[in-house]
Structure 1
Amino acid sequence: MLILLSAAIAPGLALFSYFYLRNQMATEPRRTLFHTFIYGLLITFPILFIQYVFIEEGVISHGFFQDVLFSSTMEEFFKWFILLITIYNHGEFDDPYDGILYGASISLGFATLENVLYLLTYGLDTAFLRALLPVSSHALFGVVMGYYFGQSKFSPKKGKKTLIVLALIAPMLLHIIYNTILTFRGQWLYLIVPFMLFLWWFGLRKVKQAHIHLVRHLHEQNKI
């Protein structure tokens, strides 16, 4: 059991540590990040419950709508909504890079518990593949979401609402594409590899851009 839990939790911790250590200009309070991670864990339960009810009641019977559109949009909406109401106006969200960390944190909280439940059901044989695909993809969806939250908070008032909407739409579309690829039986591997390479490129580009905005923000605040 201990080995299984370690295998389920380790990918999320490793990915979060990577994004946390990329921030060399400022240190975000660990307690707030931990709370955000816990929020990600907690939203797993209402998401799973809603999915179960919809499936049992036959609200969504078509496989594509159930496995791709419904699950993708609901998971990203819950993460976006919790970040919006608990973190966006938090006093410790005080620079553009913080959005990256909070987005990754809530996404990895969700992905970690989902991974624990999955490995408890299917065993350690799937641990490596899940670390490469679902856990890392959730982290990168969170990075993209957090990037736009960070841009919204520290941009002129005129563009704030548009960026908040992008914080939902961009990761939602990426998640839909990811889940759609997994429905291609037999060919999914040929599609998922280039998509994951693109997702890493896109996510790391957002990390780099957020770091540039952080440096600019600190200059404006006369902190460097």
Structure 2
Amino acid sequence: MWVSLIVAAVTPGFSLLTYFYLKDRYDAEPVRNVARFFVIGLLLVFPTMFIQRGLVLWLGESPFVFSFVISGGVEEFVKWFIIFFIAFNQTFFNEPYDGVVYTVAVSLGFATLENVLYAIVLQTDPMSLLVRALLPVSGHALFGVIMGFCFGKAKFSDKPGYLRKSLLWPIVAHGIFDFIQMAFPSSWTWTIVPFVALLWICSMILVRKSLEKSPFRYVFRDDMINITGNGQ
């Protein structure tokens, strides 16, 4: 039973990370780099829980404060902090979509361990884990896409304000997600489905926009022309 629960808990995170990683078709990041950021995400869970517990004791658990400060605020800040100080100024961050890949990796590392702890502590059934895979786990990935897109814009465009937005927008999205759960406790699953669907649509648009700005896009196109012989 324990093995099946753990497998069910970790599969969504790995599956979503693989999906977003394979989207990077122009200049895919080294797997070891992505794995490193995934592990960092795992390690963020326990200090984040400690900080959140202290804030709960200090600020209480009103739905708004918990959603936008204690949960969304703290969790998105620690992810933002890691990406900004470990990835943002590094040479391997060399195209806009890299922001998405590394931020999603950290986010899904965090969500995966959270899901494992949820499975172990509550000894929940696989169906509940499936619901978490479709909603909270994918939510973390989509918050990561938003953050990563803004990081990419902050590094590779001259438009001001995107570094600030890379923290603000994920906090708002995460806060709305959690607030829906707290405001509609008996029917939150059905209430949140349209919001998650909207997040998916927006995230896919941001993924496409990030890929379109890749400096390796035309190199990839020319290589494909040479391979197929269509440039003759």
Q: Give the alignment's TM-score, normalised by structure 2.
A: 0.88
Rounded Cα–Cα distance in structure 1 between residues aligned with 2:133 and 2:220: 41
* 1:221 to partner: Cα distance: 7.6
Match 2:216 to one of 173, 194, 218: 218
What does residue 148 of structure 1 align with? 150
Count of residue correspondences: 217
1:133 aligns with 2:135: yes
Q: Deviations over 1:44-73 (max 9, x none)?
A: 111101122333xx3012432453122110
Mapping of 1:119-130 within 5 angstroms?
119-125=119-125, 126-130=128-132
The DSSP-based 3-state class of the residue aligned with 2:216 is helix
Moved more, 105-114 or 120-129: 120-129
The answer (yes or no) to whether the contact 2:12–2:133 under 8 Å persists in 1 is yes
Q: Give the alignment's TM-score, normalised by structure 1.
A: 0.91
The answer (yes or no) to whether the contact 1:29–1:92 under 8 Å persists in 2 is no
Mapping of 1:18-167 within 5 angstroms?
18-55=19-56, 58-69=57-68, 70-125=70-125, 126-156=128-158, 159-160=159-160, 162-167=161-166
* 1:185 to partner: Cα distance: 2.5
Q: Deviations over 1:77-128 (max 9, x none)?
A: 0000110000101111111111110111000010001111011011242211
User: Which amino acid in 1 is paired with 2:94?
Assistant: D
Rounded Cα–Cα distance in structure 1 between residues aligned with 2:194 and 2:11: 25
User: Which amino acid in 2 is paired with 1:9?
Assistant: V
Q: Deviations over 1:175-218 (max 9, x none)?
A: 0110111011334234201101101001111111111111xx22
Rounded Cα–Cα distance in structure 2 between residues aligned with 1:71 and 1:210: 27
The answer (yes or no) to whether the contact 2:73–2:171 under 8 Å persists in 1 is yes
What does residue 196 of structure 2 align with? 196
Rounded Cα–Cα distance in structure 1 between residues aligned with 2:146 and 2:114: 20
What does residue 16 of structure 1 align with? 17
* 1:25 to partner: Cα distance: 1.3
Rounded Cα–Cα distance in structure 2 between residues aligned with 1:199 and 1:220: 29
> Unpaired runs of 5+ in structure 2?
223-232
> Unpaired runs of 5+ in structure 1?
none
Moved more, 66-75 or 34-43: 66-75
Rounded Cα–Cα distance in structure 1 between residues aligned with 2:156 and 2:211: 13
* 1:223 to partner: Cα distance: 8.4
What does residue 174 of structure 1 align with? 173
* 1:151 to partner: Cα distance: 1.3
* 1:22 to partner: Cα distance: 1.3
Rounded Cα–Cα distance in structure 1 between residues aligned with 2:165 and 2:219: 26
The answer (yes or no) to whether the contact 1:7–1:124 under 8 Å persists in 2 is no
Rounded Cα–Cα distance in structure 1 between residues aligned with 2:220 and 2:190: 49
The alignment-based identity, stated in percent, is: 39
Rounded Cα–Cα distance in structure 2 between residues aligned with 1:68 and 1:119: 22
Greater CA radius of gyration, 1 or 2?
Answer: 2
